[in-house]
Amino acid sequence: MRQLGISGAWVHEPKVFPDSRGSFHEWFKGPDFAESTGHDLRLAQANCSVSARGTLRGIHFADVPPSQAKYVKCVRGAVLDVIVDIRTGSPTYKQWEAVRLDDADHHSVYLSEGLGHAFLALTDDAVVVYLCSEGYAPQRERGINPLDPDLGIEWPAGIEPLLSDKDAAAPTFAEAEAQGLLPSYADCQAYYGQLRGQ
């Protein structure tokens, strides 16, 4: 697991073993995960989405605590996965980082509680699976418009984004901040400390 530029986010780059039958790789290893993050992955829910090319999902996040950490992998096709630091007071506040996830390199990303998450399907029938530390709770779920020009995420040119009505109507980053929807870095750090202490 390699830590990304945003604290609380990692990319897992497994060794892939190809042969005449196909290939094999380990996409999650508990001991390696715990060594990198300082805690075990609590698994409460596993999701699978199938997306047409251009589908843009996010930016999604949940109230802290407990929020929802995610371990994300693309098992068919390719997506551009984006992690956004929405934690007020963070050294990397309002910064984002993109990682290509596909069925060739088999990379995965982990984003801690309190970070924003979005992805754009680069291929048709892109299948993304993600392990979640908490179950879906509508009353705690939040969103930011992924096309907010002030945030400036560099989505690939030549792909028309297809958003759900909910994501298209999500507030801008500035609106979410003004409405007090964003988690604080201090609250997130305190929660990470609780996880490491368990």
Length in residues, the chain: 198
Handedness of CA 54, 95, 65, 71 (dihedral sign): positive
Residue tagged active-site, from 39, 110, 117, 130:
130
Give the position of tokens 């999902």.
Answer: 57
Q: What are phi and psi of 116, to 5 degrees?
A: -85, 150
User: What is the distance between the alpha carbons of residues 59 and 143, in angstroms, rounded to a whole number?
Assistant: 5
* 115 contacts 64 by C-beta, under 8 angstroms: no
71 is catalytic: no
Residue tagged active-site, from 12, 39, 60, 117:
60
136 is catalytic: no
Handedness of CA 132, 101, 159, 175 (dihedral sign): positive
Residue 101: closest CA among 5, 11, 4: 11
Tokens read off for 71: 């371990």
Which run of H or of E encompasses 49?
A: strand 45-51
Q: Which residues are catalytic?
A: 60, 130
